[in-house]
Amino acid sequence: MKRRASFEGSSLTEQNTRRMRLQANAMLNASPFDPTPLAKFILNLKQKPANIDQNDLMAVLEVIFTNLLKRESLEPQALQWDSLYTETWSLLLDRLGSSSQVETQMALKVCMSLIKGEATSPVVEGDWPIGKLKSILEILINGPERTIVLKEFGKYTKCLDVLNLAIKFALELAPTGDYQHDTIKAMNYLSLVNQLDLGKAVLSAQKYHVDTNKSHRSFNYEKARKKLNKIWRGIIASSNGIDEDLHRMVLVVLLERILPHMENPIGVTDFLMNSLHEYDGPIALLALQGIFVLMQKQNITYPDVYEKLYQMFHARVFSNKYKSRLFYLADIFLTSTHLPENLVAAFVKRFARLALKSPPKDAVIMIRFICNLLLRHTGLQKLIRGDPLAEQVTDPYNEKENDPVKTEALNSSLWELHFLQKNAIPEVANAATFINNPLPIMEFDLGPLLDVEDSRIFDDLLKSKAKQYMLSYENTKTLALTEDYIVTKYFDLV
């Protein structure tokens, strides 16, 4: 009975939605204009009756008001909709603070549509409704956790007019005091800043939310850049004692939105190095990525970066979501052919040891990685020629040493790869056989391997055709065993 009642309720909601749409069309096409149905719609938005879908109701109100805003002239009695519009806007702002993410996203969509309608309306005096956009951001920042909705708002910041104003309001609405005292508000604010993209793709697209020749159409990159740097200085000043989630978000904002446009990139060196040495996991990885950008673009040297990178490769890394990013960064850091051989040899041995106890997918990645490093540093190819049987007992490589230069890896051999050639997984065993042949001319592309799932290896094994072995070589003609049958020579049937 409950199931039937649920279906009936759903059907009633759909009927009410169709009825609302018909009433809205009739009202917009009527002459003279009668705002009575509009007042009923707004009352339903305020009272939230269970038999009316609130998202559908907001969509209907969006259609009504965008049509009214487009009209060049309205009858005197139609001017009543102005007060109804103000009330609707207030209710939509309330929905932005709703506990339902779906309702909040719908309210945001309708609000941005109405802002566009106001800015282009011939019957509304004034310019771009700046205050309305600020009120939206103020509610999203100060309300409950709104990272998903703010990510949705990121679609609008691809428009230069919205982006320009969002940067302005991000400065004005920045939380005061340390983030640790209000982590939800801080996370919302950082989520907003993460939508402020000054990248070339956004700037070159020249997209605007409001297609008009009014003000706020011109976008000045240098002014926006200065404001973005000021936003970052406020973020870093408020980040004392923050938890790991906020720390990770600060790093994401720095790497994705701030660092490419920083006035003084070297100023974040201490923050990145502290993040690298004081944290493990994704925070250290993000810091490592930031350091690489500084090394590449600012020509800065961080001598202990390779030591930290070496320490990040351990058995636990295979169960982490960020392992593909770690392999990617390690490949970039170890690209240079000018690195000391004893340093690179330590990474080669670390990968070889980890391949012995890693899942098949990761073992293949590390074997290919080892091959690439041997191609880049030909002096390391002597590791292949070591005595694998002797080294299994007397391997000088010290895997417990944290400093890769002191591991004695250069005096070792790759006996691990000989061992992996006996692996039960054919893909792993075949990958390890590269040391038995001349090394390839070209490096392996690790990109496709980083996207492979363990289940794919299992599926490939199921699809592969196994060899057919002959189980019987005598064609039996009866159910009974013949006298000269080979089984009867060695077994007696009891």
Higher pLDDT, 462 or 293: 293
Mean pLDDT of 231-256: 94
The residue type of 352 is: A
Whether the per-residue pLDDT at 463 is higher than 70: the answer is no
Q: How confident is the model at residue 325 (pLDDT cuts 50, 70, 90)?
A: confident
Q: Which residues contact 250 (CB under 8 A, 6 or more apart)?
A: 190, 235, 236, 239, 242
Which tops the pLDDT comparison, 462 or 297? 297
pLDDT of residue 104: 93
Predicted confidence at residue 3, as pLDDT, reads: 40
Rg (C-alpha) for the chain, rounded Å, is: 33
Residues 6+ apart with CB under 8 A from 214: 119, 127, 128
pLDDT in tens, 147-197: 999 999 999 999 999 999 999 999 999 998 899 899 999 999 999 999 999
pLDDT at 321: 81
Q: State the pLDDT at residue 202.
A: 93
Q: Do 156 and 201 meet the contact criterion of CB atoms below 8 Å apart?
A: no
State the average pLDDT over residues 20-36: 85
Question: Higher confidence at residue 293 or residue 472?
Answer: 293
Reply yes or no on whether the pLDDT at 299 is more than 50.
yes
Residue that is written with structure tokens 């870093």 in the block: 236
Most confidently modeled range among 74-78, 211-215, 227-231, 327-331 = 227-231
Q: Cβ(448)–Cβ(442) under 8 Å?
A: no
pLDDT digits (tens, 9 = 90+) for 70-122: 876 655 555 677 888 899 999 999 999 888 889 999 999 999 999 998 888 76
Above 60 in pLDDT, residue 457?
A: no
What confidence score (pLDDT) does residue 161 get? 92
SS (H, E, C) the chain: CHHHHHHHHHHHHHHHHHHHHHHHHHHHHCCCCCCHHHHHHHHHHHHCCCCCCHHHHHHHHHHHHHHHHHCCCCCHHHHHHHHHHHHHHHHHHHHHCCCCHHHHHHHHHHHHHHHHHHHHCCCCCCCCCHHHHHHHHHHHHHCCCCHHHHHHHCCCCCCHHHHHHHHHHHHHCCCCCCHHHCHHHHHHHHHHHCCCCCCHHHHHHCCCCCCCCCCCCCCCHHHHHHHHHHHHHHHHHCCCCCCHHHHHHHHHHHHHHHHHHCCCHHHHHHHHHHHHHHCCCHHHHHHHHHHHHHHHHCCCCCCCHHHHHHHCCCHHHHHCCCHHHHHHHHHHHCCCCCCCHHHHHHHHHHHHHHHHCCCHHHHHHHHHHHHHHHHHCHHHHHHCCCCHHHHHHHCCCCCCCCCHHHCCHHHCCCHHHHHHCCCCCHHHHHHHHHHHCCCCCCCCCHHHHHCCCHHHHHHHHHHCCCCCCCCCCCCCCCCCCCCCCHHHHCCCCC
Q: Residue 491: pLDDT band by 50, 70, 90 thresholds?
A: low
pLDDT of 212 higher than 80: no
- Give the pLDDT confidence score for residue 156 in this predicted structure: 96
Q: What percent of the chain has pLDDT over 90?
A: 51
Check residue 90 and give its pLDDT.
95
Largest CA distance in the chain: 113
pLDDT > 70? residue 474: no
- pLDDT-derived band at 483, boundaries 50, 70, 90: low
pLDDT at 108: 96
Q: Quick check: 484 pLDDT over 80?
A: no
Q: What is the pLDDT of residue 304?
A: 83
Split at pLDDT 50, 70, 90, the class of 446 is confident
Residue 144, preceding peptide bond in cis (omega within 30° of 0): no
- Rounded to 10°, the helix 183-193/221-237 angle is 160
d(CA 404, CA 410): 10
pLDDT at position 414, please? 92
What's the confidence (pLDDT) of residue 467?
Answer: 62
pLDDT for residue 194: 97
* pTM metric for this prediction: 0.81
pLDDT above 50 (res 9): no
Q: What per-residue confidence (pLDDT) applies to 8?
A: 43
Where residue 418 falls among pLDDT bands split at 50, 70, 90? very high
Tens-place pLDDT, residues 37-61: 889 999 999 999 988 899 999 999 9
pLDDT of residue 1: 39
Q: How far apart are CA 269 and CA 258, in angstroms?
A: 14
Residue range 259-282: mean pLDDT, rounded = 90
Q: What is the pLDDT of residue 296?
A: 84
Q: Pick 465 or 240 by higher pLDDT.
A: 240
Q: At residue 244, does pLDDT exceed 80?
A: yes
Neighbour-count burial of 270, counting CB atoms closer than 10 A to its CB (0-12 exposed, 13-18 middle, 19+ buried): exposed
- Residue 351 · residue 369 · CB < 8 Å: yes
The whole-chain average pLDDT of the chain stands at: 85
How confident is the model at residue 6, as a pLDDT? 40
